[in-house]
Structure 1
């Protein structure tokens, strides 16, 4: 049913591999591993507009949160009416609680398509093609070597092999650990940048809280993921961490700890020679007013009109 999706993903890999083969050997792990990494980077570049839309949706939800809390308090005994009023508030203000999930929803088909393509490559018999990949390309991908491991290798498969290939076990094991850690830190970083006031009003925040606890369990699923899928996951998570750090450090969400820290940083005067040069000159001090000298004039005593002697 999803063969059309697998055809698209495999065709993208073939095109990128063909371009990289002009620089590195076409049968090397650099060509096939680089194809997966570049596919991930191109996908994330295409998702930048959706990420920006996600940021705007999140901030819109933060702005509406006080009104949502007021509606919940007003209709706390009537959940149906409360939900109707909250949805009406969202519609009137052009907010969509699910728009924050768009980047994840777009990534999932590519993840599934890449997983199925690499799984078919690992299971393909000699002389068989896989979707848009010819038998020669399938054989090349199967034999591509990345530090002693092959792209279709899984940790459980390498562990259960007889004899065991320890290089494949180590490489896939390290990839599982890194993918689990990057998943956890990317979700945790997103949660830390959410204002505490959003609470349960933001469904995306609820999903992120759940993901913080689910992320460590990703390692259990990753044990059976092909190395190529783990490379995709690590690259995507690393991109997310860098992108989040840049966007939120430049434009911190209103009311968040990052915004408060940025405001405090901007408020502090910066030192150095440049700051001294740019410092505005202080206004000249006003001259102190001199105290007035009061002279005591001699008082004239009244005289008698006849004798001219002063009166007693």
Structure 2
């Protein structure tokens, strides 16, 4: 069902898809699966680049919360019998330091409208009764209906297609989506538990980590193109979080709760350079041997050789 007040967003996403597809169509067959795979992947990458500042804001807020962990522990000990006062003091501490506990929701909220728009546009493309979809030219819509990834259509659903091969292909992408979802959540939960080991929500986070892959199986009702979008954004998130976590390791504190500076882990290029054999040091140049100087007897005057006095 399409909501008229979101048509402007659907039209914007459809226009971006059209531009990307037409750009690839200059050297790739418009109706080929490769063209539409590259179109969806490119759209995903562009969207993730646009919300990258939100990711950095989320990570910086999380880092501030990590640095405030010792103070939060003190507040918990002080107000252990007064949960309401504890929550007020913790929130005041976070606000004073500019940390937002809900900052982690920003990237997800930013992706949700794009996800809904992709779902609506691809579903509209799959409808054979529609010639134009949210302003997309008829030839672009037709090429999307003809495009296949290993014999599975871009707009095919697992339950709508009659081809067993298509079901297997869609099932493979759904399983990949489930795996990448699990790895993404595990990466985030592991970091959160390291940040606050005594967090009372740690057990619930672990349960969520193992339940989250099951939600990916709801994508059996999604078009194959949308599943591909989700797999791509999961892979992007995995790489993005690994890049940030390796350069911003968990802060450490001494017995007095003072922050200990921690060196970031070396990146991939640094590891490759480290693995390269060091060039052999050239031996220092040999010192020249000292010349042997023979002391020749000086020639004496004739008077000294004969022993006579010189007149």
Match in the other structure for 1:157: 160
- 1:31 correspondence with 2:28: no
How far the C-alpha of 1:90 sits from its partner, in A, is 1.1
Match of 1:178? 176
1:71–1:134 distance in 2 versus 1, CA, 3 Å: same
Structure 1 residue 201: deviation in Å?
Answer: 5.5
Q: Would the alpha carbon gap of residues 137 and 207 (structure 1) be closer, same or farther in structure 2, given more than 3 Å must change? A: farther
Give 1:228-239 correspondences, 5 Å limit: 228-239=225-236
Is 1:60 equivalent to 2:64 in the alignment?
yes
Partner of 2:167: 169
Query: Closer, same or farther in 2 for the Cα pair 1:276/1:33, shift >3 Å?
Result: closer
Structure 2: 5+ residue stretches without partners? 254-261, 282-311
Tell me, in whole angstroms, the C-alpha distance in 1 between the residues paired with 2:136 and 2:208. 35
Rounded Cα–Cα distance in structure 1 between residues aligned with 2:41 and 2:153: 15
Note the C-alpha offset of 1:18.
1.0
Match of 2:298 in 1: none
Q: Determine the C-alpha separation between the residues in 2 that align with 1:176 and 1:31.
A: 21
- The superposition leaves residues 155-213 of structure 1 with CA deviations (integer Å, 9 ceiling, x where unpaired) of 1222xx3xxx122111101100001101101111222234535147598x788545413
1:139 has 2:142 as partner? yes
Write the mapping of 1:123-272 to structure 2, written as runs, cut at 5 A: 123-126=127-130, 128-158=131-161, 161=162, 165-194=163-192, 196-199=194-197, 209=206, 211-255=208-252, 262=265
Distance 1:18 1:200, change over 3 A: farther
Give the distance between the partners of 1:188 and 1:149, measured in 2 at CA.
31
TM-score w.r.t. structure 2 length?
0.76
Structure 1 moving runs of 4+ over 3 Å = 199-203, 205-211, 259-263, 270-277
Change (3 A) 1:95 1:261: closer
Q: Which runs of 5+ in 1 are unaligned?
A: 278-312
1:308 alignment counterpart: none
Contact 2:145 2:153 in 1 (8 A): yes
Length-normalised TM-score, structure 1: 0.75
In structure 2, do the counterparts of structure 1 residues 210 and 272 end up closer, same or farther at CA, with 3 Å as the change threshold?
Answer: closer
User: How far, CA to CA, are the matches of 2:58 and 2:240 in structure 1?
Assistant: 13
**Inter-partner Cα distance in structure 1 for 2:276 and 2:123:** 59
In the TM superposition, residue 134 of structure 1 has moved relative to its aligned partner by 2.7
